[in-house]
């Protein structure tokens, strides 16, 4: 029995079987590249014409899947991931602020956290979510901690609502999964067919052309999620090049002093988007939609601009 020939295996389809989001990222890159390059290379226009409807169908299926609450792990900010964000606020902001008012050795602090962080670390997701409700009750009417309690209650309510939505969204999961799977396979198969066409028409420059038309970084590798680096005073630096989706969640912290802005640009070190302000030493969680762009295929460069007189270090995580 002769085994499968690797060139007969569609890597676009294979690499996206576990992630509809990854398929949308590959498709967004490919669709935009075909359109942009067809001006210089007219042979790409027929490929765009036949691919674009499949791309639109995939994006529509993805959006329907997202709105139904039925996305699988890794395809949007799940309840578990949102819990991680809330716990990050607890550990990095709320606890330090509470400990300024009440030292950790005082009876009042121990009354607020009688079991330390154990309730947030053990048990199922529902028990961990409930720990935020208990924290809010333990803070009570303490005027010195009123702002923190408001934040705790707000995060608890958000977690509770998302958890309820997750539980009640199962009725449309099967239908949406079928539609999105069909759209994924159709788009990835057409990309594979386009690859064959490009290999034929642009044979002498196939390596360079494929790098322009296909998102090879996303296709080949498990995406990097944490980016670190340094920036000198009043400088502008690139953090990463990445194909974002509007719902992508980002966590950013810059260690140093002063203020910084993040941009999602069409060019390296560019600033052609809405700025997302970052205050030094405070971790910020936000969605890619905060940059106010609509074309995530061209706005791919995450840029940091320093407004500080001191050097600083940044850590950016894709959630």
pLDDT digits (tens, 9 = 90+) for 185-243: 999 999 999 999 999 999 999 999 999 999 888 887 666 778 899 999 999 999 988 88
Q: What is the pLDDT of residues 149-195, one digit of tens each?
A: 988 988 888 888 777 766 655 545 555 677 888 999 999 999 999 99
Q: Region 99-127: what's the mean pLDDT? A: 91
Same domain (yes/no): 2, 37: yes
What is the domain count for the chain?
Answer: 2
pLDDT of residue 164: 74
8-22, 29-43, 62-76 — which one is most confidently predicted on average?
Answer: 29-43
- What's the rounded Cα separation, in Å, for the pair 290 and 288? 5
| Sheet with 276-279, side-by-side order of all strands | 236-241, 301-306, 259-265, 276-279
Band (pLDDT 50/70/90 cuts) for residue 140 is: very high
What b/e string do you get for 67-95 counting C-beta neighbours within 10 Å, with b at 16 or more? ebbbbeeebbbbbeebbebbbbbbeeebb
The answer, yes or no, to whether residue 77 has pLDDT greater than 60, is no
- Name the residue range of residue 96's domain: 1-223
Q: Region 12-40: what's the mean pLDDT? A: 89
Same domain (yes/no): 105, 236: no
Tell me the whole-structure pTM to 2 decimals: 0.52
Band (pLDDT 50/70/90 cuts) for residue 68 is: low
The answer, yes or no, to whether residue 85 has pLDDT greater than 90, is no
CATH of the domain at 285: 2.60.120
Band (pLDDT 50/70/90 cuts) for residue 248 is: confident
**Residue 161: CB partners within 8 Å, gap ≥ 6?**
none
Q: What is the pLDDT of residues 272-313, one digit of tens each?
A: 999 999 999 888 888 888 999 988 878 989 999 999 999 999
Strands 249-255 and 284-287: antiparallel
pLDDT of residue 48: 95
Strands 284-287 and 312-318: unpaired
pLDDT of residue 240: 87
Same domain (yes/no): 281, 296: yes
Same domain (yes/no): 82, 209: yes
Q: Which of 190, 208, 223 is the last residue of a domain?
A: 223
The answer, yes or no, to whether residue 64 has pLDDT greater than 90, is no
Q: Region 75-96: what's the mean pLDDT? A: 78
Same domain (yes/no): 86, 208: yes
Same domain (yes/no): 158, 248: no
Same domain (yes/no): 119, 211: yes
- What's the rounded Cα separation, in Å, for the pair 196 and 57? 22
- What's the rounded Cα separation, in Å, for the pair 87 and 122? 13
pLDDT of residue 292: 93
Q: What is the pLDDT of residues 32-62, one digit of tens each?
A: 899 989 999 999 999 999 999 999 999 888 8
- What's the rounded Cα separation, in Å, for the pair 155 and 165? 15
Same domain (yes/no): 267, 148: no
Same domain (yes/no): 271, 219: no
Q: Which of 205, 223, 241 is the last residue of a domain?
A: 223
Tokens 């390596």 belong to which residue? Answer: 207
- Output DSSP code: residue 224: P
pLDDT of residue 169: 52
Same domain (yes/no): 80, 162: yes
Q: Strand, coil or helix: what is 239?
A: strand
- What's the rounded Cα separation, in Å, for the pair 77 and 178? 21
Same domain (yes/no): 210, 289: no
Tokens of 93: 């902001």
pLDDT of residue 318: 84
Same domain (yes/no): 241, 216: no
The answer, yes or no, to whether residue 76 has pLDDT greater than 80, is no
| Sheet with 226-231, side-by-side order of all strands | 226-231, 312-318, 249-255, 284-287
pLDDT of residue 3: 61
**Residue 278: CB partners within 8 Å, gap ≥ 6?**
252, 253, 254, 259, 260, 261, 262, 284, 304
Q: Which of 202, 223, 244 is the last residue of a domain?
A: 223
Distances from the Cα of 79 to the Cα of 74, 195, 289, angstroms:
11, 38, 19
């Amino acid at each position: 029995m002769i085994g499968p020939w690797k060139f007969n295996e569609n890597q676009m389809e294979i690499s996206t079987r576990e992630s509809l989001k990854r398929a949308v990222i590959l498709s967004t890159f490919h669709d935009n590249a075909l359109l942009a390059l067809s001006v210089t290379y007219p042979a790409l226009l027929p490929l765009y014409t036949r691919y674009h409807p499949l791309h639109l169908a995939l994006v529509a299926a993805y959006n329907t899947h997202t709105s139904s609450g039925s996305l699988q792990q890794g395809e949007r900010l799940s309840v578990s991931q949102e819990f991680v964000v809330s716990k990050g606020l607890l550990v990095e902001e709320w606890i330090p602020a509470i400990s300024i008012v009440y030292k950790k050795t005082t009876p009042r602090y121990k009354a607020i956290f009688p079991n330390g962080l154990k309730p947030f670390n053990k048990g199922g997701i529902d028990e961990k979510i409930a720990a935020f409700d208990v924290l809010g009750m333990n803070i009570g009417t303490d005027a010195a901690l009123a702002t923190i309690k408001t934040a705790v209650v707000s995060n608890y309510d958000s977690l509770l609502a998302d958890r309820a939505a997750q539980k009640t969204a199962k009725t449309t999961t099967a239908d949406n999964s079928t539609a999105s799977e069909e759209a994924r396979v159709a788009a990835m198969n057409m990309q594979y067919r386009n690859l064959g066409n490009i290999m034929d028409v642009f044979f002498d420059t196939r390596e360079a052309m494929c790098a322009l038309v296909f998102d090879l970084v996303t296709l080949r590798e498990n995406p990097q999620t944490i980016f670190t680096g340094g920036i000198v005073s009043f400088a502008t630096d690139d953090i990463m090049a990445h194909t974002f989706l509007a719902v992508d969640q980002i966590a950013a912290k810059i260690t140093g002093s002063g203020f910084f802005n993040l941009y999602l640009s069409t060019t390296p070190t560019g600033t052609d988007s809405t700025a997302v302000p970052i205050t030094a030493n405070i971790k910020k969680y936000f969605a890619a939609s905060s940059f106010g762009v609509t074309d995530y295929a061209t706005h791919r460069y995450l840029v940091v601009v320093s407004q500080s007189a001191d050097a600083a270090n940044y850590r950016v995580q894709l959630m």
